[in-house]
Structure 1
Amino acid sequence: MADIEGVALYQTASADYLVVSSQGNDSYLLYQSQAPYEYVGRFRIGVNAAKGFDGSAETDGLDVTTQAVGSGRWAQGMMVVQDGRNRMPDQNQNFKWVPWSEISQALELK
């Protein structure tokens, strides 16, 4: 993992995860939050051309919350990341919001 630029703790009654950004390969990793800090999985925030947004790249920070930020897919909270390189539209930077339920589903979390 190259160039860590963000670390956050996602805590629930059943599991706690460390969320880490890897700026070197534009991905995010999950680890168990207690020793021995076992690796859980890796994911990326991808492009959705149909909805008009690009993925994330060159992340300089992130944060997570377990609090509901809406209903449905937002009920488990979310992750927000700084996106340092945008192509849709072409601009300097913005932020990407990801429902935690999508991360949980992608990594098959319990």
Structure 2
Amino acid sequence: MSEITTEQVAHLAHLARIALTPQEIEKLTGELGTIVDSIAKVSQVAGEDVPATSHPIPLSNVFRPDVPGATLTTEEALAGAPEHDGSRFKVSAILGEEQ
């Protein structure tokens, strides 16, 4: 098993700003050790003669052609808006930039 320590897990939790109890740290230490060991096993068998794959089945684009279609008029687009000025949506100011 890999040498993942509780101190390393606590340090990573601190960096990620995740509050963990001592019991959670202990549990995650074992789980992360198992994950690192599993990755090491895969690395042993995945040699240079094994091609890297991102998906077991080849994929191709399934996009439809980009064909212009009917669009909404300004009035239709603004019909359901809670607030508008006749040509644009009105939204609240953000980040303290009141106008």
TM range (shorter): under 0.3
The structure whose residues are more often helix, as a share, is 2
TM-score (norm 2): 0.21
Greater C-alpha Rg = 2
